[in-house]
Amino acid sequence: MSVWEFTAVYPGSFDPITLGHMDIARRAALLFPKVVVAVSEAKHKACQFSLGDRLFFVQESLSDIPNVEVTSFQGLLTDFVGRVGAKAIIRGLRAVSDFEYEFKMAWMNRRLAPDIETIFLIPSEEFAYLSSSLVKEIATMGGDVSSMVPEVVARKLGSETGGSP
């Protein structure tokens, strides 16, 4: 049973999705009847993986959660949230360093769309250190990231770096 009776959007570039992202998505799915995991085109970032790859990774990784829908979006997040009829934005916080940036974004989103709330969730302690950037860096140097990302991502990272997942 959901705590809230409205849709939430969990946005991100997910370049790539990590077990920490998956943990936040699972937590959100327990709170809301529908969670839209929205993969950003992220034109402002230099992503390692294409939008198509990132969508595939997220779809494969979250396919076992029945109330999660995966899609992509471009443009303002608040516009997308409105288009899908959601009332909340889910953001993950790993550390105090995340909070300042996320707090500013929440205030800006509230300014753009006062009827949309930002909900902060923290991952399980075992995933608090994970970030896509660190995962990519470790994989680039030949490190094993299989305990940090879903299997589909570990295989791809292993094949791109010439290592094994």
Annotated catalytic residue within 26, 27, 94, 155: 94
Told to judge if 132 belongs to the known catalytic residues of this protein, a careful annotator would answer yes
Q: Looking at the predicted structure, is the pLDDT value of residue 43 above 80? A: no
The predicted structure's pLDDT at residue 8:
98
Domain spans in the chain, listed from the N-terminal domain onward: 8-125
Told to judge if 45 belongs to the known catalytic residues of this protein, a careful annotator would answer yes
Question: Would you identify the CATH topology of the domain 8-125?
Answer: Rossmann fold (3.40.50)
Per-residue pLDDT reduced to its tens digit, 85-133: 999 999 999 877 788 889 999 999 999 999 999 999 999 999 988 899 9
Q: Which residues contact 6 (CB under 8 A, 6 or more apart)?
A: 32, 33, 86, 87, 88
Annotated catalytic residue within 40, 54, 87, 132: 132
Told to judge if 21 belongs to the known catalytic residues of this protein, a careful annotator would answer yes
Told to judge if 34 belongs to the known catalytic residues of this protein, a careful annotator would answer no
